[in-house]
Structure 1
């Protein structure tokens, strides 16, 4: 630390800003690129000193609901997830706008344009607009840090949760961040003045919905007035083009204009859209280029703000690529800067696709599954989200599906309902507790003819080895859900046990009902870290 500055990832800047804003807890499920926010708080001496809750939640829905409980008693809570986690918490998230908040709630959604580690490129700003709550989109690590205190104040002043949307490049890049003196930061300690707001019976919900509608003009006014939405126009002239730059897109624009942007420019980092500023920008130029990372969220809305004849360019018009993340090069090309070059993928580099680690227990699971499935011409193996999804790639090519968290069990059930035999589901330990348990209950209630493999490596391995919510509980969970005790089997996935594992898989496939096999062996990465730590402690 020098001159009150720290070198921080975007995720870390958000975490430190939240600590300094006086949060009582962070509630999250690990998911790239959001994971480091919670990990920073878990390791922060100041957060430990203040007793900030920071244990991982079972899934994003439970995280959002726990944060609502914190808010109800007048304290501040941070909720973190990757963009697809917004789908999981959507019920609680959207309804939190109807209940409103007491203590501030900030929900951080880390989007992943280009799908570096995700199934889709969805843009979380649509969720904020759908719920009719304020959205913040920082353009830099410094702004991410500064926005946290502002976000909690905004949440409490308008009695609404606030959505902060970031993207992978901001989350996982570092910059020097000037930090405040945390000693002056305190948490909100109020109490709910209208408890019925939190009881969403239709009569209460209808009244609260009117309140949410009523506050919308105030949110638009704030977006017009905030310094985070900065408009720069030249008085008395009409430029050839103007630029709207959203979030990290502003950084990419300014990287191409280090001496200052020569065109009228509107930087947007707070939503709803500032329609008045957009109109002023349009009057100062002949056309507008929208630079936004993700989907054409702003570009589409401009059609309702500006005349239909006004020229708006961006992802929809083809000036910027319709898919994938922005970068300084494709923004440079869209700006029409001479010499712009968008670099293609290297042609002479041997590809290195991801692969399961050497010695990983999942390898032995797929080896056994492939051996058994070869004896069943119609066998389908339904996969799930986790590092074991790599079983879809060579050399195993073992999976026939991968859709979303927890889908393996319910898809196997549906296929069995349609007459498929055998229907096999492969799911990881953390994913099973995240969203697989309800699917297993459905299968038990329907007496579905499926075989479920819960590949237990005793950690949430894909995101860095965080604690798994169900460790040492899976047999009890399966029995509690109604799986017959004799059809809950545990094996140790090692080559020397291959004969036993394949025998058990065949036996359970032939059982006409729900069976669960739990191959259990610790992740090689977490095991190596533990051994390294033990060796260090002995020195």
Structure 2
């Protein structure tokens, strides 16, 4: 154990390094900035940090989290840093990441700013952790910032979910001595065996959501047993209960001596909460004899608002939390009948009047003749001809939200991940920067304009060795053929204007007769050890039909 004097932000950063960090991404914002600054400063390694890792700023918090997802997809540990309002920007990939089969530990370090010292609001990130239903750790000092960050990576891999680390201004920017622990080696490259855990197509997402609900019991057991959720009852005055969290615990202890004197020497019973979800049994034990409870928490009244639902009262409440009503899926009359303890309604099927055969599933698929089908056949052929893996995964194909997401299912089965709008670009970047040799992002023209450009800016700035494939069918096809905000003819000048090298911006016509030629050109760009963009162009068939019909009617 070695001692160092560090800011809370620096302690969290060092905890990540010592936990075997492979890559970190973030966007600057007070009070979180020093986490990434410390990581960037030490990324090359030194006498005390034997393994180098990747650390860099990104265009925004969303692109940062998506790049970190690419690292986790490749089996390695990643951290993302931002301030509380930045989590609003990253909320799309954050909420969806809770449904993924997180492979390498993923920790999102968010620094809240109570008192708005340099922020526009007093948002509390614990609400986001509860909203996503993932664990949250809230250190109360620099030592816990270090040790909890290390623990967060283990927790993430154990439950296969992202973990939120909540920092606050006074902790982030105060310095104290910490003791360090032995450095853990980085994870080897190892992609997830079941790629459907990384695809949020509705059928997979519903299954993954059920799995997330099932994990809640494990989260509660972990929280109940965690030493940071410390309950003190023995020899205490149980008539008054005090609940503290985060820095609130420090401030309470600073005033405890005077508080006890004011109460004629009576020390109140107390529960300090350092990890979430809330330790419900400990709260109930603290409060079962209490006449009054004082809640001292940094930020908004997250714990206080929950107490009414946790503490005993005269009214029994039945609903989704006790299983009376289904926790997953939609409501329907039969679900409600079960909740009302009513017998099933008689009907044709239940009465045995009609027997239906077991019908095969009919999952959605690309339209016959869709240009994306020819593009995916080209991608498959190009990837099959790449150099074989050298003892580790050598390809990652990260796709995106749109009708082309259907290329993840047979007969194509090309994409390996589908997370949120724009994530394909950032995930391919993260996969490349953590060691995947051939990282490929697949995105549609409308989705690229929606939120892919920002991640491409990051990749261009770093000249990341990856290939972005834009499937340009000249329309927003999935939602009914709305016009894109920028026409296909503007893509080339737009991308070159961002700084991509012109010789590595390739435009191909997505037709089956050009399969061999297109696959050879694509393979060449995938093998290029820098950033390349390949645009497959052909109009959507449905858009073509609508256009022709409109032209005839004029």
What RMSD over aligned residues (CA atoms) do the two structures have, in Å? 3.2
CA contact (8 A) 2:77 2:186 kept: no
Question: For residues 281 and 31 of structure 1, do their structure 2 counterparts lie closer, same or farther at Cα, with a shift above 3 Å needed?
Answer: same
What is the CA deviation profile of residues 112-166 of structure 1, one whole-angstrom value per residue up to 9, with x for unaligned ones?
A: 0111111111100111001010011011100010111211111000001000111
Question: For residues 283 and 62 of structure 1, do their structure 2 counterparts lie closer, same or farther at Cα, with a shift above 3 Å needed?
Answer: same
What is the CA deviation profile of residues 365-409 of structure 1, one whole-angstrom value per residue up to 9, with x for unaligned ones?
A: xxxxxxxxxxxxxxxxxxxxxxxxxxxxxxxxxxxxxxxxxxxxx
CA contact (8 A) 1:61 1:88 kept: yes
Cα drift, residue 185 of structure 1: 4.1
SS of match in other structure, 2:254: helix
Per the alignment, residue 115 of structure 1 pairs with 116
**Is 1:99 matched with 2:100?**
yes
Distance 2:111 2:486 in 1: 37
Question: For residues 253 and 131 of structure 1, do their structure 2 counterparts lie closer, same or farther at Cα, with a shift above 3 Å needed?
Answer: same
Question: For residues 10 and 260 of structure 1, do their structure 2 counterparts lie closer, same or farther at Cα, with a shift above 3 Å needed?
Answer: farther
**Is 1:291 matched with 2:312?**
no
Cα drift, residue 476 of structure 1: 2.7
Distance 1:12 1:258 in 2: 32
Cα drift, residue 242 of structure 1: 1.2
Per the alignment, residue 278 of structure 1 pairs with 283
Distance 1:45 1:26 in 2: 9
Distance 1:23 1:83 in 2: 22
CA contact (8 A) 2:43 2:54 kept: no
Normalised TM-score (structure 2)? 0.55
Cα drift, residue 283 of structure 1: 2.0
Per the alignment, residue 76 of structure 1 pairs with 77
**Is 1:39 matched with 2:37?**
yes
**Is 1:305 matched with 2:303?**
no
Distance 2:99 2:498 in 1: 34
Distance 2:189 2:292 in 1: 49
**Is 1:476 matched with 2:497?**
yes
Matches within 5 A, 1:98-247: 98-182=99-183, 184-187=184-187, 189-234=189-234, 238-247=237-246
CA contact (8 A) 2:77 2:105 kept: yes
CA contact (8 A) 1:103 1:156 kept: yes
Cα drift, residue 238 of structure 1: 4.8
Distance 1:41 1:120 in 2: 27
Question: For residues 309 and 150 of structure 1, do their structure 2 counterparts lie closer, same or farther at Cα, with a shift above 3 Å needed?
Answer: same
Cα drift, residue 258 of structure 1: 6.1
Distance 1:100 1:162 in 2: 13
Cα drift, residue 85 of structure 1: 0.5
Cα drift, residue 445 of structure 1: 4.9
Per the alignment, residue 254 of structure 1 pairs with 253
Distance 2:314 2:115 in 1: 32
Distance 2:146 2:285 in 1: 29
Gaps of 5+ in 1: 311-429, 435-443, 448-472, 480-539
Distance 1:71 1:474 in 2: 28
SS of match in other structure, 2:206: helix
Cα drift, residue 50 of structure 1: 2.2
Gaps of 5+ in 2: 261-266, 316-453, 459-483, 488-493, 501-554
Cα drift, residue 307 of structure 1: 2.9
What is the CA deviation profile of residues 382-438 of structure 1, one whole-angstrom value per residue up to 9, with x for unaligned ones?
A: xxxxxxxxxxxxxxxxxxxxxxxxxxxxxxxxxxxxxxxxxxxxxxxx9xx79xxxx
- Number of corresponding residues: 325
Normalised TM-score (structure 1)? 0.56
What is the CA deviation profile of residues 442-484 of structure 1, one whole-angstrom value per residue up to 9, with x for unaligned ones?
A: xx9599xxxxxxxxxxxxxxxxxxxxxxxxx9993499xxxxx
Cα drift, residue 228 of structure 1: 1.4
SS of match in other structure, 2:102: coil
What is the CA deviation profile of residues 486-517 of structure 1, one whole-angstrom value per residue up to 9, with x for unaligned ones?
A: xxxxxxxxxxxxxxxxxxxxxxxxxxxxxxxx
SS of match in other structure, 1:231: strand
Question: For residues 173 and 104 of structure 1, do their structure 2 counterparts lie closer, same or farther at Cα, with a shift above 3 Å needed?
Answer: same
CA contact (8 A) 1:238 1:283 kept: no
Question: For residues 120 and 475 of structure 1, do their structure 2 counterparts lie closer, same or farther at Cα, with a shift above 3 Å needed?
Answer: farther
Question: For residues 68 and 245 of structure 1, do their structure 2 counterparts lie closer, same or farther at Cα, with a shift above 3 Å needed?
Answer: same
Cα drift, residue 193 of structure 1: 2.4
Per the alignment, residue 266 of structure 1 pairs with 271
What is the CA deviation profile of residues 72-91 of structure 1, one whole-angstrom value per residue up to 9, with x for unaligned ones?
A: 11000001000001000000
Distance 1:202 1:46 in 2: 41
Distance 2:255 2:185 in 1: 37
Distance 1:216 1:59 in 2: 30
Distance 1:127 1:180 in 2: 30
Cα drift, residue 240 of structure 1: 3.5
Distance 2:105 2:134 in 1: 13
Distance 2:5 2:273 in 1: 25
Cα drift, residue 286 of structure 1: 1.9
Matches within 5 A, 1:41-60: 41-44=39-42, 47=45, 50-60=51-61
Cα drift, residue 255 of structure 1: 1.6
Distance 1:231 1:186 in 2: 35
**Equivalent position to 2:25, from 24, 27, 30:** 27
CA contact (8 A) 1:24 1:77 kept: yes
SS of match in other structure, 2:111: strand
CA contact (8 A) 1:27 1:67 kept: yes
Distance 1:87 1:268 in 2: 25
Cα drift, residue 99 of structure 1: 1.2
Cα drift, residue 14 of structure 1: 0.1
SS of match in other structure, 1:264: strand
What is the CA deviation profile of residues 322-366 of structure 1, one whole-angstrom value per residue up to 9, with x for unaligned ones?
A: xxxxxxxxxxxxxxxxxxxxxxxxxxxxxxxxxxxxxxxxxxxxx
